[in-house]
Structure 1
């Protein structure tokens, strides 16, 4: 089975994430896209993160009826902070019959050389990059790179959190069941 791993803190998951994941599932040879909820990103402060199990639950709600998408909590069981290469090695051992690719935006791809064991990651795994405006991708020798355009929404988890804090609605920014869960639990207030 060919699996694309879409890593993120998903704080919270929003419609933009889901459009990208679905588009990549539909327009590549992947059998499934797994949204890997990162409990702690080594390049981001964790102070603004909602509890990891609450974020995981919101992603589950968001994709509950989509067979192409799956949520993964694999990084919850690994040492922190989680590094993509460690997660990939762990998943390869756990699912030896699966082939894993890493999904990222072209903005993240530009930072890839700073990642732990970046050369191993780029040489051993296919990287599927969706283009973001202002972040061109240069082909790197030896990298199994797939570039594609995905429909992008100019929204972010930060915008959603700030919208909630200001007492305004996040309708249409997140799936309705995710919005209901955030509102009923007073997340991000």
Structure 2
């Protein structure tokens, strides 16, 4: 599905929609490979890569690239991949980013859609600390990415499945450091996203 300004636009009732939120600063194979594996394992119609506007878990920890730059990188990264779509839903909504609000908005767009929140085992274990966790329990199910050697622990009451994926030890922090040092990001970040971050000098 081509990236558009209205994430999930045209998604009819009964579709299986993956929701994969993140800062994506920059987007890399550690994001894209799990998204594809989950899409295939669960026969999802689309996975929305939802670009955080102001991610509450990272506020104050470091400067974050402008949301529009991050969105453009994700759009470039998923270009030509039918099952992955960049979503600007949280950017258009503005303010702090809470997953429960994103799920609620998607639910209002497609009341009969099957919404699958995709997240790693570390994030899954802390779901009870998220904003309005009981609402999340009611409004979506989870696909927890299971990496070799990482135990999966999900708080009670969440409907979930685990999806094994390859171990990809790639971090956005390390990639920003490589970019700042003028080192190559080839094979780690899709070429289209690399072109944007280099042209806009995001990490220099």
Q: Provide the TM-score with structure 1 as the length reference.
A: 0.93
Q: How far is 1:186 from its partner?
A: 1.4
Q: How far is 1:159 from its partner?
A: 0.6
User: d(CA) in 2 for partners of 1:41 and 1:76?
Assistant: 11
Q: Deviations over 1:147-182 (max 9, x none)?
A: 111123101110100111122111111011211222
1:22 aligned partner: 36
Over the residues paired in the alignment, what is the CA RMSD in angstroms? 1.6
Q: Deviations over 1:88-142 (max 9, x none)?
A: 1111112234221100000101111100111221233111100245642235443
Q: Deviations over 1:45-72 (max 9, x none)?
A: 3642111011001100011101101111
**Is 1:3 the counterpart of 2:17 in the alignment?**
yes
Write the mapping of 1:1-189 to structure 2, written as runs, cut at 5 A: 1-45=15-59, 47-132=62-147, 135-138=150-153, 140-189=155-204
- Equivalent pair of 1:110/1:135 in contact (CA under 8 Å): no
Matched positions, count: 189
- Equivalent pair of 1:2/1:31 in contact (CA under 8 Å): yes
User: d(CA) in 1 for partners of 2:63 and 2:177?
Assistant: 11
- Equivalent pair of 2:19/2:50 in contact (CA under 8 Å): yes
Task: Classify the secondary structure of the residue corresponding to 1:75.
Answer: helix
Task: Classify the secondary structure of the residue corresponding to 2:72.
Answer: helix
